[in-house]
Structure 1
Amino acid sequence: MKGSLRGVEATFTQLAGRPSDLWGFSLTGVFTRYLDHGSGQVKWMKGALGSATAFTDAASEVGDTDMELGLLRMAGPRLQAAQFGTLLLATWVDFLRLADAILRNCPMCSVEKLFTDLHRVQGLMEPTLTDLASLDPERVEAAALAMPALMGKLTREFDTLQRETRSTLKLGGQVIAAMKALEMVTMISTMKMALPRVPPSAPATLGVGLVMSSGGVMAGSRLVVSAEWVELMRRLVQAGVISVPAASAAVLIQGGQVTMAQAHQDLPKGVRDALGDSPEVRGMQVTGRAGAGMSDAPKHHVLPQEHREWFERRGFKGDMDIDQFCVRLEQAHHEAIHGGGNWKLGRIWPGEWNRMIMDALLQAETRAGRMLTRDGILKEVARHMRDYRIPMNFTSGGGR
């Protein structure tokens, strides 16, 4: 994804720096806002990947298997957001390349209509990009679930714009070179990945720069993903790092299934065969929130909020802020670990979670004779979470 983002950034820079053609048209001036729209999205995607990297680095150093897996799961929503955000940016690049080709090769095409078309496409993408940029697990999950249908709409928009431009070129009696230039742009991603040429009657394929190239799984006549990608996705799904709906949506999009995407649609048979016959694969289909295992159960701060400054002095800042270490517990379980739900009375009970975990951490510091490191705290917390049967499925909670 970092490589894809670099490529997208380079394209924005290239399009912004291209001089105007003989007719004075280019993707600058009134069209600059569309270049800026794409460039502005890159920043949060880089941040999401950087945050995911921070969690994976912390996981490799914590020294506790369960906590390691919990930290990796925290990287999951950020990876999903960056994955689908990058796919949308790659699609936006396809639209901008096409618009650039139209401006340069079709002087009789309406600039005002092209501006309006791009505005409409941007409006289709904006809500999903906003949800992805929030990095909120539930909003990211909902955005991933809606992605196949969105890519279907974008594909039809792209195909319509391409066909209308070709018709205008023919009516205007333009030379064959202009037609070839337009065709080159609309096929550039497919040609780059050496995939079979899309028949003239089929919609163009968007954003396929993210599709792996060699050793892939076939779905119909198209290469979907590499066998290595499928195996990695299977492991991440089994570990709970990448959600089943997100994995399914990604495969549907890369398999060219977006124009027929429906709720509860199964994976392409070729991918299902490659993944193997397992419960995870049999369940890997687009589902709603309930099917994704999402719950509205209360969130519990594993690291007590009233001791926020204590934890900050020991490294829990930024991506590793204590608000990231929340778990969803059923109401009865949540009340039980807090002494019956009344926190004032609960603090009197030695086994109350917040009191117990702080006592344990302070004792650990006394034994160590120094301030605990972040990894040392997480290792100690993991031990007590197992004792209290608290799952290490962390989610972001409320802030200050």
Structure 2
Amino acid sequence: MLRRQGPRDDVTAVGNSAVGGKALRAASTRQAVLDATDEMKGSLRDVEAALSRLAARPSDLWGFSLTGAFTRYLDHGSGQVKWMKGALGSATAFTDAASEVDDTDMELGLLRMAGPRLQAAQFGTLLLATWVDFLHLADAILRNCPMCSVEKLFTDLHRVQGLMEPTLTDLASLDPERVEAATLAMPELMGKLTREFDTLQRETRSTLKLGGQVIAAMQAVEMVTMISTMKMALPRVPPSAPATLGVGLVMSSGGVMAGSRLVVSAEWVELMRRLVQAGVISVPAVGAAVLIHGGQVTMAQAHQDLPKGVRDALGDSPEVRGMQVTGRAGAGMSDAPKHHVLPQEHREWFEQRGFTGDMDIDQFCVRLEQAHHEAIHGGGNWKLGRMWPGEWNRMIMEALHEAEITAGRRLTRNQVLDIVVERMKVYKVPIAFTKGSSR
């Protein structure tokens, strides 16, 4: 693995204390989140540009193009771009907030909050790029195959859109559990899309042959497949299918093999490793990405084990050996109650101190075991619990009010977070935030 290392003096200095090591880890994670965000923004810009070029193309001699009845499919792609930009914007907001807090545990907690948004944008962009491939193929068919059924093409695109819609909806929700479930289902979905794409292309070739079209028309349709991003994004089709999907897969000399195909660069693997170890991105998500790029449509070779290709790519380290592809419980998404770290009844107070938008108090929830949740609230009866000075909501608000009296002004959002995280450590509340619901 290619690891970025600072000067020896810097490494030695921070290595002499646990605090310095934690700060270094937080800084490394923050940079990894920034790098991943920038990479996804670039990919999304490329997809958006492709949609714009398709929309701007004039009609051909027969008057066919992706306009009129087909405009809805272009609009569908443009609509997906909006929420993906919003997800990346939210990830950036959490990263900026993380850089401003003093406590490194809270910094890592905020960076982990960016994880589901990065994950949703990553796989959403992959699906959107696939959709653009279908639009490119549809455009080539409309322009070069006048005897092809326009109605059938319209229906085919509608069917493909229907296959993608549930997954895109789950990703767009940005709910960690729904995003994780959609991620795990992505390899199977991409396999279906590969077959849909291949079937549409083969049917078009057959129609061109029956219609006696010139070779140039057939080459125009074939060229869509050759330049398609699917050769990078989609799994391999069965051996009986044409070998055009997946050809030309070329990476840098520092690439990593999964199975028999070169899938990702060593730099990408190192980036993912850092995000996985910090808890920003889940191992199943990285596994799904490698599976898709590696052309594998099955999630594992053994029950609950990560595929060998994924293990090889991430490195056969103790951290990876302890990770498994599991369901919600294994991914830390049990049905344990969600605890609002910032009391809901004081929502307006927190909003006045900057907890709005992506940083509203509903983002700062943690999952606790039922007994733990009841204990920090003074027992099962919350009304009686509030009479205990150590009850969570009462204790937090008293600490914050006292800090404001001492400062003689309103606390900033970061000051509030620094105070809250200290109480979380005392009460053994995990600094692993998830989105909760508002009352």
- Bucket of the pairwise TM-score, normalised by the shorter protein: over 0.9
Shift of 1:245: 1.5
One of 253, 261, 276 as aligned partner of 1:237: 276
Aligned partner of 2:64 in structure 1 is 25
Judge which range, 361-370 or 81-90, deviates more: 361-370
Aligned partner of 2:4 in structure 1 is none
Residues 178-210 of structure 1, C-alpha deviations (whole Å, 9 max, x = no match)? 1221111112136997x9x99985567889999
Identity %: 89
Judge which range, 263-272 or 60-69, deviates more: 263-272
| Contact 2:339/2:368 (8 A) holds in 1 | yes
Change (3 A) 1:299 1:206: farther
How far apart, CA to CA, are the structure 1 residues paired with 2:246 and 2:179? 19
Aligned partner of 2:117 in structure 1 is 78
One of 81, 84, 88 as aligned partner of 1:45: 84
Aligned partner of 2:326 in structure 1 is 287
| Contact 1:155/1:205 (8 A) holds in 2 | no
Change (3 A) 1:117 1:43: same
Residues 237-273 of structure 1, C-alpha deviations (whole Å, 9 max, x = no match)? 1111111221111111111113787895755645523
Map 1:1-400 to 2 at 5 A.
1-189=40-228, 201-202=240-241, 215-258=254-297, 264=303, 269-400=308-439
Residues 211-251 of structure 1, C-alpha deviations (whole Å, 9 max, x = no match)? 97663212244321111111111121111111122111111
Q: What is the DSSP-based 3-state SS (H/G/I as helix, E as strand, rest coil) of the residue aligned with 2:113?
A: helix
Judge which range, 238-247 or 372-381, deviates more: 238-247
Residues 118-147 of structure 1, C-alpha deviations (whole Å, 9 max, x = no match)? 000000000111111111111111101111
Which blocks of at least 5 consecutive residues in structure 1 are unaligned?
A: none
| Contact 1:149/1:261 (8 A) holds in 2 | no
Shift of 1:286: 3.6
| Contact 2:287/2:310 (8 A) holds in 1 | no
| Contact 1:70/1:393 (8 A) holds in 2 | yes
Change (3 A) 1:315 1:209: farther
| Contact 1:208/1:254 (8 A) holds in 2 | no
Shift of 1:370: 1.9
Letter matched to residue 273 of structure 2: R
Change (3 A) 1:329 1:206: farther
How far apart, CA to CA, are the structure 2 residues paired with 1:378 and 1:210? 46
| Contact 1:252/1:261 (8 A) holds in 2 | no
Given the two structures, how large is their TM-score scaled by the length of structure 1? 0.93
Change (3 A) 1:215 1:189: farther
How far apart, CA to CA, are the structure 2 residues paired with 1:389 and 1:355? 17
| Contact 1:16/1:35 (8 A) holds in 2 | yes
| Contact 1:94/1:207 (8 A) holds in 2 | no
| Contact 1:38/1:89 (8 A) holds in 2 | yes
Which blocks of at least 5 consecutive residues in structure 2 are unaligned?
A: 1-39
Q: What is the DSSP-based 3-state SS (H/G/I as helix, E as strand, rest coil) of the residue aligned with 1:224?
A: strand
How far apart, CA to CA, are the structure 2 residues paired with 1:138 and 1:152? 23
Letter matched to residue 203 of structure 2: E
Given the two structures, how large is their TM-score scaled by the length of structure 2? 0.85
Change (3 A) 1:148 1:214: same
Aligned partner of 2:12 in structure 1 is none
Residues 60-95 of structure 1, C-alpha deviations (whole Å, 9 max, x = no match)? 111111111111111111111111110000000000
| Contact 1:215/1:227 (8 A) holds in 2 | yes
How far apart, CA to CA, are the structure 1 residues paired with 2:245 and 2:209? 24
| Contact 2:64/2:143 (8 A) holds in 1 | yes
Q: What is the DSSP-based 3-state SS (H/G/I as helix, E as strand, rest coil) of the residue aligned with 1:187?
A: helix
Letter matched to residue 271 of structure 2: L
Letter matched to residue 379 of structure 1: D
Q: How many residues end up aligned between the 2 structures?
A: 398
How far apart, CA to CA, are the structure 1 residues paired with 2:387 and 2:295? 60
Change (3 A) 1:51 1:216: same
